[in-house]
Amino acid sequence: MFASPIARLVQQLGKLPGIGEKTAARLAFHILRASPEDAAALAEAIRDVKEKITLCEVCFNLAEGPRCTVCLDERREADVICVVEEPGDVIPIERTHEYRGRYHVLGGALSPIDGVEPEDLKLAQLYDRVTNGVREVILATNPTTTGEATALHVAAALHQRAPDVAVTRLASGLPVGGDLEYADEVTLGRAFTGRRAV
C-alpha cells in the first residue's frame, strides 16, 4: 500500500502503546511533511534516550550519568525514601510538589503468577539504604493487587530489619486498580499528606 520506507515508519509507530494502524499512518504522513530539521530532531531524540539514559546507581530512577537529579539535589531530604514501582511513577509524585525526600524504584511489583519474586526487584538495595539514618519509608506502590502485595512484603521486611524506621503507605482515595501514573496531582498530593503507618 505504501512505499517501503513509509510502510516501515507506519509499522514502527504502530508498535507504540495506544497507536492503532490509522493513527500510525497519520503520524507517518505528518513526519513526511515535517521539515528535515524537525524529522531529524525526532530521530535524534529517540536515539539519545536509548544511548544516554541509564538507571541511577542509588535509587534506580532514570538518570543521565551515574546519579539521578533527585539524588544529586542536596536540598532533598535524605532521611525519607519514597518507594515506587517504575521510574514513570516518580513524575506524577514530583508534580504534586508535596514530596521533598528521595526515591527508590523497585523495577516492578511482586507477582508470583508472572514469576516476579522478591529477588527480581531492587529490594536488597532498599534494605541497605534504610540502615543509613533513614527516618521514614513511604510505600507508594500502585493501588493494585500486586502493588498492595508488594507494599505488605516490604513493610514486613522493613519492620524486621529496621524497627526504628517509620513505614507509611499513601492514604486511600487513589483510584483502586489504577496506576500512580494516571492519578491527578490533587488526589496524589492528598494521598501523600494523609499517609498512614503500616
Under the criterion CB under 5 A, does residue 56 sit at the interface with Zn ion? Answer: yes
Dist. CA 9–CA 21, nearest whole Å: 11
Please say whether the beta carbons of 152 and 162 come within 8 A: no
Under the criterion CB under 5 A, does residue 71 sit at the interface with Zn ion? Answer: yes
Cite the beta strand spans of 73-150 per DSSP E: 80-84, 102-105, 136-139
Under the criterion CB under 5 A, does residue 93 sit at the interface with Zn ion? Answer: no
To Zn ion, the closest distance from the beta carbon of 120 in angstroms equals 20
What pairing do the DSSP bridges indicate for beta strands 102-105 and 136-139? unpaired
Under the criterion CB under 5 A, does residue 61 sit at the interface with Zn ion? Answer: yes
Cβ-based nearer residue to Zn ion, 61 or 150:
61
Radius of gyration of the CA atoms of the chain, in A: 20
Cβ-based nearer residue to Zn ion, 54 or 144:
54
Q: The cell 497507536 sits on which residue?
A: 19
Q: Tell which one of 24, 28, 58, 82 touches Zn ion (CB under 5 A).
A: 58
Under the criterion CB under 5 A, does residue 90 sit at the interface with Zn ion? Answer: no
Residues that bind Zn ion (CB under 5 A): 56, 58-59, 61, 68, 71
